[in-house]
Amino acid sequence: MTAPFRKHALALATLLALAAAPFLGFGDGFALSLLARAMILGMAAVSLSLLVGGAGLVSLGHAATMGIGAYTVVAFDAAGVSEGLIVFPAAIAAAAAYALVTGAVSLRTSGVHFIMITLAFGQMAFFTTSSFSSLGGDDGYTLYARTEWLGTRILDNRLTFHFLCLGLLALVWVGGNLLLGSRFGRVLRAARENPQRALAVGFQPYPYRLVAYVMAGAVGGLAGALLANATEFVSPALLSWTRSGELLFMVILGGVGQIGGAILGALAIVLLEESLSHLMVYWRLVFGPLLVLSVLFLPDGLVGAPLRLRAAIRFASPKRRNADA
């Protein structure tokens, strides 16, 4: 049990820290809403990590599934419906349906084509939401009320909302890990590493990839519905392609080898953005170069950083090198 424990130690520690945070001085409204944002984006990032790291599918349009989940909440809100038992399943189903249709087309291609096509479909969703003039168009839409559950407004309590997000995040993470270790996950992983081999033993990767794509889309929809509740405001910016790029950054920063890394990646990026934007107006002048540098110098993400550092130190020390030889 120690090996799997060590494998997941970092993600577990992050989740525990998130659980303790409200009681360690991060319990005010500002901190909680920031953490909620990080956890929700983390959920979307974990589902994207499942695609990128698990199935080898680099989607540059994952924000669209979040946006569709959020806009489903908005559409129901505009129609006066805010019951969670209706709104949340609908948001998840809408995002999954979008993933099914766009995935069916995108997955016929691979590699760079796949990146470009997912990006294009994401942009399509972006422009489509901007053209909904009854839902605010470009300007966005402010929710009338947070989603209710069986008529009670439990989501209005920030602490409840915090632990709801945390619980769902943990669930997505555990579910994702189970998925990767299952029969289904084995086929996905084999098809990522060597599609020819998967075919040779009788597996056509397409249906497996499509199902994974739809599952990730469904989680994206759930995250979107939560995000709409967290900010009580939804605009097309949520679907912009830069948001998809950010999600990918979270995945790679956490390390693609572990889907739990995306949780740490999301937390790191949300906190970094927040503190940078408080320090300066043009904060992306720092954020952008940091992104570039982390891609160039941390190919294994934050998770791999200590290992790389150790290797670098070992390489630099001639004594150790002789000893190794």
- Show contacts with other proteins in window 209-228 (CB under 8 A): 211
Q: Which CB atom, from 127 or from 315, has the smaller least distance to other proteins? A: 127
Per CB under 8 A, contacts with other proteins among 229-258 are: 241-242, 245, 248-249, 252, 256
| Pairwise CA distance, residues 134 & 218, whole Å | 25
Q: Which residues of 7-39 are buried (b: 16+ CB within 10 A; e: fewer)?
A: ebebbeebbeebeebbeeebeeeeebebbbbbb
Residue 112 C-beta: closest distance to other proteins, Å: 5
| Pairwise CA distance, residues 66 & 218, whole Å | 9
| Pairwise CA distance, residues 152 & 135, whole Å | 25
Does position 124 interact with other proteins (CB under 8 A)? The reply is yes
Does position 138 interact with other proteins (CB under 8 A)? The reply is no
How much of the chain is in helix, strand and coil states, percent to nearest 5?
Answer: 80, 0, 20
Among the residue ranges 15-23, 27-35, 117-125, 308-316, the one whose residues contact other proteins (CB under 8 A)? 117-125
Give the SS3 label for residue 234: strand
Q: Which CB atom, from 31 or from 179, has the smaller least distance to other proteins? A: 179
> Which tokens go with 294?
């982390």
Residue 282 C-beta: closest distance to other proteins, Å: 5
Does position 142 interact with other proteins (CB under 8 A)? The reply is no
Applying CB under 8 A, among 9, 16, 178, 313 the residue interacting with other proteins is 178
Does position 323 interact with other proteins (CB under 8 A)? The reply is no
Q: Give the residue from 240, 244, 236, 196 showing the smallest Cα distance to 216.
A: 244
Does position 71 interact with other proteins (CB under 8 A)? The reply is no
Applying CB under 8 A, among 196, 279, 318, 322 the residue interacting with other proteins is 196
Planar angle of CA 40, 24, 223, nearest 5 degrees: 5
Applying CB under 8 A, among 194, 275, 277, 317 the residue interacting with other proteins is 194
Among the residue ranges 8-16, 17-25, 89-97, 111-119, the one whose residues contact other proteins (CB under 8 A)? 111-119
How far is the CA of 286 from the CAs of 238, 271, 273, 289, in angstroms? Answer: 22, 14, 10, 6
Q: Residues 273, 257: contact at Cβ < 8 Å?
A: no
Does position 64 interact with other proteins (CB under 8 A)? The reply is no
Applying CB under 8 A, among 33, 168, 287, 305 the residue interacting with other proteins is 287
Applying CB under 8 A, among 291, 300, 305, 308 the residue interacting with other proteins is 291
Residue 307 carries which side chain, given as an amino acid letter?
L
